[in-house]
Structure 1
Amino acid sequence: MASKTKQGSAIVETIKTIVYALLIAGVFRTLFFQPFWIPSGSMKETLLIGDFLFVNKMAYGYSYASCPSIRIPAVGLDIDAEDLCGFIKGDNTRILGSEPERGDVVVFRHPVTGADFIKRLIGLPGDRVQVIDGVLNINGEPVALADDGVFEELSVPQGPQGYRPRCENGPVGEGGVCIKSRQIETLPGGVSHKILNIGNQASDHTGIYTVPEGYYFFMGDNRDNSADSRLPQAAGGVGFVPYENLVGRADRIMFSSAGRSMLFFWTWRGDRFFKAIE
């Protein structure tokens, strides 16, 4: 009888330990940092498919979007941040909030689908944003651009979803070198970063977007391969993003893998470990 009692106590203690660990992890993820894998190439070459980073949730304060989403398809678990914290959604404010800065790389919730996106903050409230012949214009002034050679990558499936890169040098055969033009773009305020271009397309010629108060305008660094604020939400884009939908700022890549799985150690990109995001 005593043995069974001890076994029962051990099981209870184990369960309590697991519950405490999950609670601590949940609080940590909710208040401080959220892990994020880069699933697509819209932010190349700043962020590559397979980069892993922690999003700094303290940077802009907290809103309903700060609550974690818990999705485990294998067991049918799908709990959205809005399910947990939707009761504080709607006033477009934040607790302990601070304003993001132009040029920040930000994770935010899509205003319609709720999916997490990561893009660069281009337009602040009140800004007029337009792309003219592929050149970003803010408040009627073109940003500074400097040619920076080309970005090269192999034309092979990338990441768990097997996405293939789009190339400026046309369709490239399996394993061939895929090329994109690269420039250094300097935003008002002085933030400089690399952007990539593939070719002339509709997103290189836009109307004027006037950013409403309390909203932000985002673009991907891989300019010709990014569904961002240039596209309205009805067309599969992002549109303007409300302040309360910001999750946090991406500051540093912690780990990176070019393969279909992080377990394929031979595909790890050691030169990207702990790399600062510019």
Structure 2
Amino acid sequence: MSDNAKKFTGETVKNESGLWETVKVILQALLIAVVVRTVLFQPFNIPSGSLIPTLLIGDYLFVSKYAYGYSRYSIPFGPPLFSGRIFGSQPKRGDIAVFKLPKDNSTDYIKRVVGLPGDRIQVIGGVLHINGKPVLRERVEDYKTTDPYGRTVAVPRYKETFPEGTSHYVIERDGDRGYWDNTDVYTVKPGHYFMMGDNRDNSTDSRDEANVGQVPAENLVGRAEIIFFSVDEDASLWRPWEWPSRIRWNRMFERIR
């Protein structure tokens, strides 16, 4: 074999070896990403205002997958590999949880857990009642948001405290006369949870039995933990020069409560 042939063969082997190393690195990175997304944390963004004032449109957050254990919906695309939950633990009242919409078992929803299995949930005059007792609600300063016509308005804001002692803020865009401000009594079924948004008059949640209803434990994806990025909802991808002023720096790395 000529020296040129040997040189060509050696270079070919070297190039093929380098290509294989690159492929291996990519495959390893993908595997690590899938494991992290399935077992530890998954990023989500907030596309609607149902959890205002706690979460805003344009918030990006991490959800802990291990908080409630794992179900088929912990795995990308939700393959029916098993039923129920493994290493499961019950959500706490007040958690903000991501779940698969029971109606189609595929759409991601995020709401606050207000009702645990066996609880009786009702809203009377805008006040949440749990097991026949009103939840403590204290009026605080108004909150500026948009009305159904896109106008900026100041609406009532309340500090709501659950029987367990955890507190969060809710708003009543339509006062205490909204469509879901007076409901029947909902009894939470075994193995299910009752979810509500903090923007009480602008949230499709468990009060709406036709579209959401009670959430089976198997449909829970994880617990919202921290906001890692946030940008104004009207920021444009095509105007990068505006990005620095559109980022909500004060919300970066904020714990979700």
List per-residue Cα deviations over 1:114-157 (Å, max 9, x = no partner): 2111100000000000111111111111110100121114xxxx
Partners of 1:179 and 1:6 in 2: CA distance: 68
- Equivalent residue number for residue 202 of structure 2: 225
SS of equivalent residue, structure 1 residue 218: strand
Question: Which one of the candidate residues 43, 57, 75 is aligned to 2:51?
Answer: 43
List per-residue Cα deviations over 1:234-275 (Å, max 9, x = no partner): 3xx310100111111112111111124496232100000111
CA contact (8 A) 1:172 1:178 kept: no
Going from structure 1 to structure 2, the CA distance change for 1:242 and 1:38 (only over 3 Å counts) comes to same
Question: What is the deviation of 1:172?
Answer: 5.4
Amino acid at match of 2:223: R
Question: What is the deviation of 1:88?
Answer: 1.1
Please report the RMSD computed on the Cα atoms of aligned residues, expressed in angstroms: 1.6
Amino acid at match of 1:192: S
- Equivalent residue number for residue 96 of structure 1: 87
Question: What is the deviation of 1:97?
Answer: 0.9
Going from structure 1 to structure 2, the CA distance change for 1:88 and 1:260 (only over 3 Å counts) comes to farther
Q: Unaligned stretches of 5+ in structure 2?
A: 1-8
Amino acid at match of 2:61: L
Q: Unaligned stretches of 5+ in structure 1?
A: 69-79, 154-164
**Quick check: which has more Rg, 1 or 2?**
2
Normalised by the length of structure 2, the TM-score is: 0.89
Partners of 1:35 and 1:214 in 2: CA distance: 26
Partners of 1:130 and 1:140 in 2: CA distance: 8
Partners of 1:147 and 1:250 in 2: CA distance: 26
Partners of 1:66 and 1:172 in 2: CA distance: 36
Partners of 2:96 and 2:87 in 1: CA distance: 20
Is 1:87–2:81 an aligned residue pair? yes
Matches within 5 A, 1:175-186: 177-186=152-161
SS of equivalent residue, structure 1 residue 266: helix
Question: What is the deviation of 1:179?
Answer: 2.1
- Equivalent residue number for residue 209 of structure 1: 186
Matches within 5 A, 1:22-171: 22-68=30-76, 80-81=77-78, 85-89=79-83, 93-113=84-104, 114-153=106-145, 165-166=146-147, 171=149
Paired residues, what number?
241
- Equivalent residue number for residue 196 of structure 1: 171
| Structure 1 ranges of 4+ moved more than 3 A | 260-263
SS of equivalent residue, structure 2 residue 180: helix
Question: What is the deviation of 1:57?
Answer: 1.1
Question: What is the deviation of 1:219?
Answer: 0.1
SS of equivalent residue, structure 2 residue 171: strand
Amino acid at match of 1:99: Q
Amino acid at match of 1:191: T
CA contact (8 A) 2:179 2:201 kept: no
Going from structure 1 to structure 2, the CA distance change for 1:105 and 1:5 (only over 3 Å counts) comes to same
